[in-house]
Each structure stands twice: as structure tokens, then as C-alpha cells.
Structure 1
């Protein structure tokens, strides 16, 4: 059985960009977002996004925009504060195809042994641009990776919070196969329409019983391109 906290998608099909606040232009990455995995020994709570940043001022602004509580955070260098938001679905703005970095990577004993975009090598330098030999579909690539014969997704999403674009850019990194499909679909849209484009970034809870009767539950990020991009307060 699959249960899902799904991002709502507006019915309007027109992808209409809007001007971003001047202070958001040229802003660097100010924080990192993750699924909020519980610490060892903690019970899993309701799905919600966790956002880590280096600034208490930024953290307080995130809390005001998304709800939640800021707390000290020391798991990642340079990220001293984490906001445990009250949101399992976020409205985010993608500023063109460069917002999505899609690559496939296979790591070996000496580091990354294979890096490609699914069709051509990205690394090493001597092979850049040549055919990588990966299967044409994500389903076939996933099967190969499960057999230890192929790379896995290594995806980075960089975005603005629709509720507070003036804060700057945030980053999500994931190796989810399902999100790989979401990101490729988003890339197709971003290459065809003006930016920014409004998307919904959600958390899907997947639950199922394994063949031997073990109950399995995990969370994965999901990305849906919404119907229109409108300024905050006009949704």
C-alpha cells in the first residue's frame, strides 16, 4: 500500500512567470533541505521538510514563512541552524534548466568510477561527451544498478521558496529513482517556458509488505510542475 502526501497542482495550464524581487537576483545558496529523517532511536513523526542554514536570521524568516521551529544544528559544516518546518509540501520557484542538475554516478573503491547524464559520460575528462552505454530508460538503468552493473541517480535541485524568494537559493540532493523521473520531466518544461516556474516539492510516504511479510516504509521527495507561477499572496 502506498500513502502519499501529494503536492497540489493548480488546474491552470498556463505557465506564466512573474518578476522576482530584486534582492533575490544573484543570491547564492543559503541553505539545504532534507526529508527530516529521525535520529537513531527516534520514532518517525509526520512528514515535514527540514531546512538547515548558517544564519539564525534566515532560519527565523523560514519559520515565519513555513511555520516550525529553529534549533541548533551541527551535522553539516557551515550549517549551524535547522528549521523543522510544519510543511510536507512546498511551493518553490525554479529559475531555468540550471536549477536541476541530473547525473548518474557509480562509486567504486577509489571514488566515483562512472559519471554520466544517462547518455554520455560527464567524467572522467578523457571520456566526456562519449556514449556511456547506459540503457535508454530509467527502469532499465535501475535494474542494472540493482545488479551492481550501472550508476545511480545523483540529483541536485536548486530553488527559491515561493513564500520568501528574497532569502536566496536552497539546495536538495537526492539519489531517489522516482525523483529522477520527476526531475527529467521538470527539465523538459524548464527548457520550453520562461522562468521562473512554480513547482510543488512534496514528500511521499511509501509503505508496503515485503515478500517475507516485513512491513517497509520510507520517504522520498517528489517534484511536480505546477500550472502557473504567481506572486506570493495571490494564490
Structure 2
């Protein structure tokens, strides 16, 4: 097999960087984003109902009509729809899901890995990333901002109205990352796109007699989307 870069690793690295830049440039643009949290000042706040942000007023109005709620301005200037629902039926292609661990600093990723090996920068790709093997230790380092945390990007469409375009949900919760292998296993049994329910599960618990709570994002795999449509071809599918 021809390998013109065998004796010139610098040229190979430059070519790979160009390919990576081309891939970034051709990634899909998203018409909306699903959000399970927001910021109250500098403090992150988890939500019990879905928030949807979009740069398009007509898309925001459509989401409000479908799921109720209110429209306001997001910090980046987009429209933000704080809906009245904690469940959304979405269409997901498992092959498009991206999952990694990322540590950010000043808005830039300074550590990207798959849990055992670096994914970037290119010169470190494939090398051991040095993350702890024990999950509790990974979480602790991330909490201290000394280690990466999950970054799982799920491109999706809204099952009720696909004309609203392509959206995404970016999951950063450890609970979602822990569920991901089982979710991907369920998706692997489906040929093509899958109908899923993306929901926010409210969890209450106690620590030393003190009541605490959090919202856990969950992706439930229902069935093949083509099968869901075929169930009743004369009517809008009910999920």
C-alpha cells in the first residue's frame, strides 16, 4: 500500500490537521438545542422541564405551541423556550452520537479523551490520558476542575414535527454517561433511526438527614422510527 508520508511525519500531521478542519467545517448546523439546565447569574441550575434554544423565532413559536411555556432571550441572543414538558419524543441516529470526556479552560478544550486515551491534540492522540480508572475518582477530579467530564452530543429531530429541523442535546451528566453503554446497546438492535423518549427524571435523596435533589436526563429507546410510522400510516403517530 502506498504511504507517501512514511518518511515525513510533519507533512502527515499537516494533512491530518487539514482533514480535521474540513470535517469541522462540514459538521451539521443545528436549528435548535435541548437544554436541561441554565445559569442563574454564575450559578448553574438544573431544570425539571425542558428548555429549548434556537436562533429562529418561527421555531421558538412552534415549540411553544407544541409544549407550552414562555419565550425569553437566551444569554447568547437566541430565543429560549422554557417548556411545560419533561418528556420529548425524538428521532435519533446512533451512528451520529459523539461521546468523549472534555476538560475546558477559557472556553477551549485542554483535555479530550475517551476515558483511557487522548483524542486530541493530534500529537497526543492514542496515548494514555492518565485519567483515574475508578469512576468516583474521575468524578472527584472533574468536580475540582482538575479533570475532564462527559460531553455527549446527540443530534436529533423532533418526532412530532420533523420540519423544525435538526437539533441536538449535549449531555454532561455522569449519570447519562453511565447509562450510555446500555443505551447504545439498545440502539444497536435497531436498523436505522430510532424513536426515543428524552426525559428529565427528578430524583430526591437524603444526605445526613438533609433533603437533596437533582434532575437526571434519560434517553429511553422505544423502537425503530420506521416501525413507529408504519404502526398507523393514516394518522399522526402517537407515542
Indicate whether the TM-score tops 0.5. yes
Deviation at 1:30, TM superposition (A): 0.6
In the alignment, what sits opposite 2:219?
Answer: 223
Deviation at 1:159, TM superposition (A): 0.8
Give distance in 1, aligned partners of 2:37 and 2:131.
32
Deviation per CA, 1:116-156, whole angstroms, max 9, x where unpaired?
Answer: 11232111111112333445675563355457664211222
Change (3 A) 1:127 1:38: closer
Deviation at 1:58, TM superposition (A): 1.0
In the alignment, what sits opposite 2:148?
Answer: 151
Which of the pair has more CA radius of gyration? 2
Deviation at 1:224, TM superposition (A): 1.6
In the alignment, what sits opposite 1:160?
Answer: 157
Change (3 A) 1:195 1:136: farther
Give distance in 1, aligned partners of 2:80 and 2:138.
35
Deviation at 1:68, TM superposition (A): 0.8
Give distance in 2, aligned partners of 1:51 and 1:203.
13
How do 1:11-160 residues align onto structure 2 when only pairs under 5 Å count? Answer: 28-35=29-36, 37=38, 39=40, 47-65=48-66, 67-77=67-77, 79=78, 81-98=79-96, 100-107=97-104, 111-134=108-131, 138=135, 141-142=138-139, 145=142, 150-160=147-157
Change (3 A) 1:63 1:109: closer
Deviation at 1:61, TM superposition (A): 1.8
My pick for the range that moved more, 130-139 or 152-161, is 130-139
CA contact 1:28–1:168 (8 Å) conserved in 2: no
Give distance in 1, aligned partners of 2:108 and 2:190.
37
Deviation at 1:34, TM superposition (A): 1.2
Candidates 172, 197, 202, aligned match of 2:199: 202
Instruction: List alignment gaps of at least 5 residues for structure 2.
Output: 1-26, 230-235
How do 1:168-207 residues align onto structure 2 when only pairs under 5 Å count? Answer: 168-207=165-204
- Return the structure number with greater helix share: 2
Change (3 A) 1:119 1:34: same
Instruction: List alignment gaps of at least 5 residues for structure 1.
Output: 1-25
CA contact 2:94–2:188 (8 Å) conserved in 1: yes
Size of the alignment, in residue pairs? Answer: 202
CA contact 1:93–1:162 (8 Å) conserved in 2: yes
Change (3 A) 1:193 1:227: closer
In the alignment, what sits opposite 1:233?
Answer: 237
Higher relative contact order (CA 8 A, sep 6+): 1
Deviation at 1:108, TM superposition (A): 5.5
TM-score by length of 2: 0.70
